[in-house]
Amino acid sequence: MSESKFVQDVRKILEEARSGAYAAINSMMTNAYWLVGKRIVEEEQEGKERAEYGRQILVQLAEVLMRDLGRGFSVSNLKNFRQFYLTFPDYPIRQTRLANLTWSHYQRIMKVDNVQARDYYLREASENSWSVRTLDRNISTLYYERLLMSGDKIGVENEMRAKTASLQAEKCAFIKNPYVLEFLNLPNNKGFMEAELEMAIIDKLQQFILELGKGFAFVERQQLIRTEMNEFYIDLVFYNYILKCFVLIDLKTNKITHQDIGQMDMYVRMYDDLKRGEGDNPTIGIVLCTETDADIARYSILHGSEQLFASKYKLYLPTEEQLRAEIEREKLNFELQNK
């Protein structure tokens, strides 16, 4: 049945309002980050010993902002705001004509050293409404440099459009961006996007781990961990006060791959770099698989710590058999409840 003009008009009103809201949030967020970066640089220049003074003010500022405004204002993020100002000192002039670029766009373009390439990516990303993923691919594949060298620029452009067609973001993707959620101090949690079964298993595992009575304390669920260009969510994070280490658990709904293990190794290394305190033992990661015929667990730990794992961790961590049994039990409960 075709839509009436009335329905079309109402949809248009709401879509335009939504687009306007996205643009307003984006503009306010990037402008605020630039101003914060500018103010940090100004404050640093007041210090006689700039490097030490700069480090101190960032740490102190992060403590206050994270306490009062949310966790999106860590020292690393404040450094990014400072770099934003230093990289684009003329941002207020550019802002009007580049209004559709998000903070994630700017973060990616800041990594480009060539000033001409940087300006090109700013202009093209804005004029052609590139998603962040499209921008990232084009920068990573040296699209600007290949265009300059190519005698067939139309061919290079057509190839780029074909290969990035699937990377163009949906209209609502911007509002789900973790940076936006942090800026608005909204819960930065993707749990509502997970399958019901996966959430039921994670619920059960969280309770099961805490009931082991082996020193586990719950830290966070769906914890955001960020690399320079990507965001990841760790399903469950615990701290074991007997082992004195963090324990990370990630659930996979398909067969475990080498990439899954590699990703957990990355989480472990990042935790040891960023979270591990003096006196803490190496972080341990557990990757779980819920395949019907092969519910398994794989433990991941930094190379060089295998002996510690064998002699100490195994005394307090749940065994593969225990984890497999809990997953199977919850899967059965879920199936019975939904029949």
Query: Residue 314 sits in a domain of what CATH number?
Result: 3.40.1350.10
Encode pLDDT of 160-170 as tens digits: 877 777 666 55
Mean pLDDT of all residues in 189-217:
70
- Residue 193: predicted pLDDT: 38
Range of the domain at 21: 5-119+174-179
- Same domain? For 217 and 299 the reply is yes
Whether 192 has a pLDDT exceeding 50, the answer reads: no
How does DSSP assign 215-236, residue by residue? SEEEEEEEEEEE-SS-EEEEEE
Q: What would the mean pLDDT of 296-305 be, rounded to a whole number?
A: 59
Verify that 108 and 229 share a domain, yes or no.
no
Q: Which helix (H) or strand (E) holds 287?
A: strand 284-291
Q: Is residue 10 part of a domain?
A: yes
The pLDDT assigned to 194 comes to 38
Inform me whether the pLDDT recorded for 23 exceeds 70.
Answer: yes
Are 86 and 220 found together in one domain? Answer: no
Is residue 121's pLDDT more than 50?
Answer: yes
The yes-or-no verdict on residue 310 having pLDDT over 80 is no
- 0.75 cut: is pTM over it? no
pLDDT of residue 292: 45
Domain stops at, among 154, 179, 204: 179
Asked whether the predicted pLDDT for residue 187 surpasses 60, the reply is no
Please give the pLDDT value at position 32: 92
Residue 199's pLDDT band (cuts 50, 70, 90):
confident
pLDDT at 275 over 70: yes
3-state DSSP call for residue 325? helix
Is position 298 within any domain? yes
Quote the pLDDT of residue 204: 78
What is the tally of structural domains in the chain? 2
Helix or strand or coil: residue 338? coil
Q: 3-state SS of the chain: helix, strand, coil percent to 5?
A: 60, 15, 25
Q: In the predicted model, what is the mean pLDDT of the chain?
A: 77
Exposed (0-12), middle (13-18) or buried (19+): which is 64, by Cβ within 10 Å? exposed
Q: Give the least confident one: 2-6, 62-66, 257-261, 291-295.
A: 291-295
pLDDT of residue 307: 54
Considering 101-115, 247-261, 305-319, the range whose residues carry the highest mean pLDDT is 101-115
Is the alpha carbon torsion for 133, 134, 136, 140 positive or negative? Answer: positive
